[in-house]
Amino acid sequence: MKTFWTISGLVAAALGVSAVLVLGHDAFTDSSSAEAQQAAQQAAQDLPWRIATQADGSSRVMGLALAEPGQGSTLADAHARWGDKMTVAVIAASNEVGSLEAFVDPMQAGFIGGKLVITAQATPEQIDAFKRSTQDVSFMESTTRQFKLSGEALQQALRAPILALGFIPQANLDEATVVARFGEPAERVKVSDELTHLLYPSLGLDIALSTQGKELLQYVAPAAFDSRLRAPLMLSAGSPPASAPAQP
């Protein structure tokens, strides 16, 4: 894909089930079992709004470290968490080289269900080799194809550094819910009457709110927010690159 944020085009068809995201407690039911308590603590850390940021511009989200390539998590780390629930593939339109991505669907982020999309770093040469290595090719939408990896190609792909995460919650999000969980955004970018992006540079987070489809939470290392999320969004929206304050 040309830019990570454009995955929002997949949101409308990604999940068909509607729900309401409640503002209840993060904690699960108390249990005397040490195992149950540990599982509950881990689940709480996986919640979409639990973003641990570091002074070096990195962050940790859903158990994965987002940082400069080579300093954060790899697809192997994600595979260690989700195993066979995770699919690794090259996603490419007919006029694109493509991108290396992984999918966990369904995925539990604490008590929030949804779909996780992981974007990893790979050179055009690596992506081309991955595409040529597999015959497991299917169409996702229009002319976009998925080249599912296995065997040696998969083992090579698992070494790739993770660049970004995209989480599509099964529950419907509205702006009031987002602000209650994440706080006021630094900036709002209205792409259309149906789509608005809430930007949180200090968290490395862009939340796309849609009135027609599903919402999308996009995470990158905070240090990479401008280059990986904001700049491509502004270019597509036809807005100037200079920062604008959030509207009350």
Model confidence pLDDT, tens digit, residues 222-237 = 999 999 999 999 998 8
Edge to edge, the sheet with strand 59-61 lists 51-53, 59-61, 64-66
Query: Is 80 exceeded by the pLDDT of residue 34?
Result: no
- What tens digit of pLDDT does each residue of 193-229 get? 999 999 999 999 999 999 988 999 999 999 999 999 9
pTM: 0.83
Q: The tokens of 216 are what?
A: 């999308």
Distances in Å between the Cα of 181 and the Cα atoms of 6, 178, 207 are: 24, 5, 12
User: Where does the pLDDT of residue 239 fall: very low under 50, low under 70, confident under 90, or very high at 90 and above?
Assistant: low
What is the rounded average pLDDT of the residues 70-92? Answer: 97
Asked whether the beta carbons of 123 and 111 are under 8 A apart, the reply is: no
Please report the pLDDT score of residue 32 as a whole number.
Answer: 63
Please report the pLDDT score of residue 38 as a whole number.
Answer: 67
The three-state secondary structure class of 82 is helix
Would you list the domain boundaries of the chain?
Answer: 4-22+36-170
Highest mean pLDDT (candidates 12-21, 79-88, 229-238, 239-248): 79-88
User: Where does the pLDDT of residue 173 fall: very low under 50, low under 70, confident under 90, or very high at 90 and above?
Assistant: confident
Please report the pLDDT score of residue 78 as a whole number.
Answer: 98
What is the rounded average pLDDT of the residues 78-103? Answer: 96
DSSP code of residue 226 = I
Identify the bridge partners of residue 86 per DSSP, sorted by sequence position.
104
Torsion sign, CA atoms 53, 54, 57, 63 = negative
Query: Is 70 exceeded by the pLDDT of residue 133?
Result: yes
Calculate the average pLDDT of the chain.
85
Q: Among residues of the chain, what percentage have pLDDT more than 90?
A: 70
Rounded distance between C-alpha atoms, residue 82 and residue 103, angstroms: 10
Please report the pLDDT score of residue 246 as a whole number.
Answer: 47
4-7: long-range pairs with CB below 8 Å, 24+? 4/119, 4/163, 4/164, 4/166, 4/218, 4/220, 4/228, 4/229, 4/232, 5/197, 5/206, 5/208, 5/218, 5/229, 5/232, 5/233, 5/236, 6/232, 6/236, 7/117, 7/166, 7/216, 7/218
Query: Is 70 exceeded by the pLDDT of residue 155?
Result: yes
* Higher pLDDT, residue 25 or 234: 234
What is the rounded average pLDDT of the residues 3-9? Answer: 43
